Amino acid sequence: MLTRHPHDVVVVGAGVVGAACAYYATLAGLSVAVVDRGPVAGGTTGAGEGNLLVSDKEPGPELDLALLSVRLWRELAESEDGPGGPAGKGGTLGERIEYEPKGGVVVASNESGMDALRAFAAGQRKAGVTAAEIAGGEVHELEPHLAPGLAGGFHYPQDAQLQPALAAARLLRAARRAGAEVRLGETVAAVRAGRDGSVRGVTTDRGRIDAPAVVNAAGTWGGEVAALAGVALPVLPRRGFVLVTEPLPRIVRHKVYAADYVADVSSASAALQTSAVVEGTPAGPVLIGASRERVGFDRTLSVEVLRRLAGQAAALFPVLAGVMVQRAYRGFRPYLPDHLPAIGADPRVPGLYHACGHEGAGIGLAPATGLLISRQLVNEEPELDMEPFRVDRFAGESGESGESGESGGPGASHG
């Protein structure tokens, strides 16, 4: 027999974006249920590096979203024992989620690359980003182990890093303290609507959850969840790999990447792209990325991609050439054609909201996304202009999750 669980809103997805939506919705006084077929951070979040970046974003709506998120992450990190106040153990959320405001360094190998970085940084500064040029002879003061002969780079002190699975878990923990219900291992089978077409909740493999609002925070499977509500959202998976080295002394102090990484992030190509991205972690291992390719949900381990990543990292940091790689993992970024997430109310289905399609920036953009969604849920003015993130802006487009490999489906792992 189906059971009823009345709530103000159901959040589909227990990744960091869904967790942030649940957290800010509870702060706004709403009764929240979070449902996910898998565990907390079982999808894209669990495969992320934890980057909170402004350095790779050109002026525009995504950078505005990133600047708001950088501020919110800092506020969350400074809160005692995590958001929601003390729970008797002391400490800050930042300590518990390995939050590091360490900054980023973008380097160029030649003068033409530096010219491109200068032009990029000039536009970012006008939007509120702090970017300091570093001469070629000075880059080693920030990163002593960088390769010799670099033309220079830029330092972005607003960039930061955290452990994404811990961040998602802590935000959900705070939401639970405020009364949210978190239902893991439960598959959403339908988004229910009333006779007037407005949302009435969801049906899962365990029963029914009644609510007048549903937030689609299903990450790479956001298009599948949208389809359950009868609307199209062209989210596609974009696969990426990360190498993890043996624990090392802190030989990489910042997030460091080559200038071509910015072009890869904004590219619409489905082909394989790799560019050196290297960063240390508080636990010791160095994380090495980044690759991008659209191959559907194909989880095959690509030796060629791993070889490229290792070679590019060693070229940037020669000291890594003799370091042991302990493991490699892959994940799927939720890609939308214009590289902007879909955030906010869906005018096609009253009561349906979307918070997905962040591609590789979801961890960094999560708190701003959750805050904006919560503002709409309680009919308050949002902090940013929501028009660029309109969820119905892709007229005539649809996501083909089965480009190759298996279809993910909304039950594969939300978040």
- 70-84 mean pLDDT: 83
Distance, C-alpha 373 to centroid of its chain: 16
Is residue 61 classed as helix, strand or coil in its secondary structure? helix
> What is the bridge-based pairing of β-strands 32-36 and 9-12?
parallel
Cα–Cα distance for residue pair 105/253, rounded to 1 Å: 9
276 vs 242, which has greater pLDDT?
242
Is residue 41 classed as helix, strand or coil in its secondary structure? coil
Q: What is the DSSP letter of 21?
A: H
Tell me the residue length of the chain.
415
300-319 burial: b if 16+ Cβ within 10 Å, else e: eebeebbebbbebbbebbee
Cα–Cα distance for residue pair 168/342, rounded to 1 Å: 20
- Residue 3: predicted pLDDT: 42
pLDDT > 80? residue 385: yes
Strand ranges across the sheet with 286-292:
132-135, 152-156, 104-108, 255-258, 273-280, 286-292, 236-245, 325-335
pLDDT > 80? residue 98: yes
- Residue 6: predicted pLDDT: 85
CATH superfamily of 236-335: D-Amino Acid Oxidase, subunit A, domain 2 (3.30.9.10)
Sign of the CA dihedral with 159 first, then 23, 63, and 343 last: positive
pLDDT > 70? residue 84: no
Whole-number percent of the chain with pLDDT over 70: 89
pLDDT > 70? residue 191: yes
- State both tokens at 95: 């300590």
- Residue 89: predicted pLDDT: 57
pLDDT > 80? residue 169: yes
- State both tokens at 399: 């996501």
Q: What is the DSSP letter of 405?
A: S
Confidence of residue 412 (pLDDT cuts 50, 70, 90): very low
pLDDT > 60? residue 407: no
pLDDT > 70? residue 396: no
Q: Which residues pair with 36 in a beta bridge?
A: 184
Render pLDDT for 12-69 as a digit per residue (tens, 0 to 9). 999 999 999 999 999 999 999 999 999 999 999 999 889 999 999 999 999 999 999 9
- State both tokens at 263: 């072009």
- Residue 35: predicted pLDDT: 98
- Residue 400: predicted pLDDT: 44
Confidence of residue 90 (pLDDT cuts 50, 70, 90): low
- State both tokens at 350: 């009253």
Category of 88 on φ-ψ map: left (φ > 0), alpha (ψ -120 to 50) or beta? left
Render pLDDT for 115-129 as a digit per residue (tens, 0 to 9). 999 999 999 999 999
Cα distances (Å, whole numbers) of residue 285 to 242, 280, 315, 326, 360: 12, 6, 18, 9, 21
CB neighbours of residue 397 within 10 Å: 13
Across the chain, how many H-helices and E-strands are there?
10, 19
pLDDT > 80? residue 269: no
Confidence of residue 274 (pLDDT cuts 50, 70, 90): confident
Residue found under tokens 């957290």: 23
**Sequence ranges of the domains in the chain:** 1-97+158-234+336-415, 104-157, 236-335
Cα–Cα distance for residue pair 17/172, rounded to 1 Å: 10
CB contact at 8 A, 361 and 226? no
Confidence of residue 408 (pLDDT cuts 50, 70, 90): very low
- By the 10 Å C-beta count (0-12 exposed, 13-18 middle, 19+ buried), 283 is classed as exposed
CATH code reported for the domain at 1-97+158-234+336-415: 3.50.50.60
Cα–Cα distance for residue pair 79/111, rounded to 1 Å: 43
**DSSP string across 256-323:** EEETHHHHHHH----S-EEEEEEEE-TTSPEEEEEEEB-BTB-----HHHHHHHHHHHHHH-GGGGGP
pLDDT > 80? residue 320: yes
- 131-149 mean pLDDT: 96
* φ, ψ for residue 174, nearest 5 deg: -65, -40
Render pLDDT for 235-263 as a digit per residue (tens, 0 to 9). 999 999 999 999 999 999 999 998 876 65
Render pLDDT for 348-383 as a digit per residue (tens, 0 to 9). 999 999 999 999 999 999 999 999 999 999 999 999
pLDDT > 90? residue 105: yes
